[in-house]
Chain A
Amino acid sequence: GAVVSQHPSRVICKSGTSVKIECRSLDFQATTMFWYRQFPKQSLMLMATSNEGSKATYEQGVEKDKFLINHASLTLSTLTVTSAHPEDSSFYICSANDRGREQFFGPGTRLTVL
């Protein structure tokens, strides 16, 4: 399957700071990438769909001014959590399609906001 990477794998920050998470497709071009959030013992929740060269599409209830998404190239999408607070602590995972219907996930980023 296709390979998707994420960086960083883990981040701890103070409340009020902004955190940027990168998602890269390593061996394919991804016109669409997806950002998910997962809280402990819960399933994945889609936050937004990231489209190369255009604005992201956010799911209902997700604040677009808080979770900034940029899909600057066919292999890179970034999620910036602005003014992070403890309730933003979660496991953030990106995924991408390699032209087919299958989505491949990155390894995830565990964010802890103190």
Chain B
Amino acid sequence: QKEVEQNSGPLSVPEGAIASLNCTYSDRGSQSFFWYRQYSGKSPELIMSIYSNGDKEDGRFTAQLNKASQYVSLLIRDSQPSDSATYLCAVLIQGAQKLVFGQGTRLTINP
């Protein structure tokens, strides 16, 4: 079983709709979770971090964490064509201070 799993997509969402991205992880002791956005040919950009169960909102982005279910999600409201990118879920490995990434979900927002 992979440590961090994401649906690779592609996920296609109409402009203005809500895009929902999901991620599961295997290490029950993990405490820190991140969502990165990566445009084609560019490096990842941190868009959200979440450490506690529940929701965390930042503008059009909401991260959701459920440690009991080992599940992290990212919601993008009012999706824009500029949101089209690959979204990477990352989990910080306790003690090692290193990130483990999922394979990424490719998101396309259709005008």
Contact = CB atoms under 8 A, between A and B. Distances in A.
B88 A44 contact: yes
B103 A103 contact: no
A102 B103 CA distance: 19
A11 B49 CA distance: 33
Interface in B29-73: 32, 34, 36, 42-46, 49, 51
User: Chain B: interface secondary structure?
Assistant: strand
B103 A43 contact: yes
A85 to B, nearest CB: 23
A46 B98 contact: yes
Contacts of A104: 46
Given A43-B103, A43-B104, A44-B101, 5 more contacts: A32-B97, A43-B102, A44-B44, A49-B98, A105-B44
17 contacts: A1-B46, A32-B97, A42-B103, A43-B88, A44-B44, A46-B100, A49-B96, A91-B43, A95-B99, A101-B32, A101-B49, A102-B46, A102-B49, A103-B34, A105-B36, A105-B45, A105-B46
A91 B45 CA distance: 15
B11 to A, nearest CB: 16
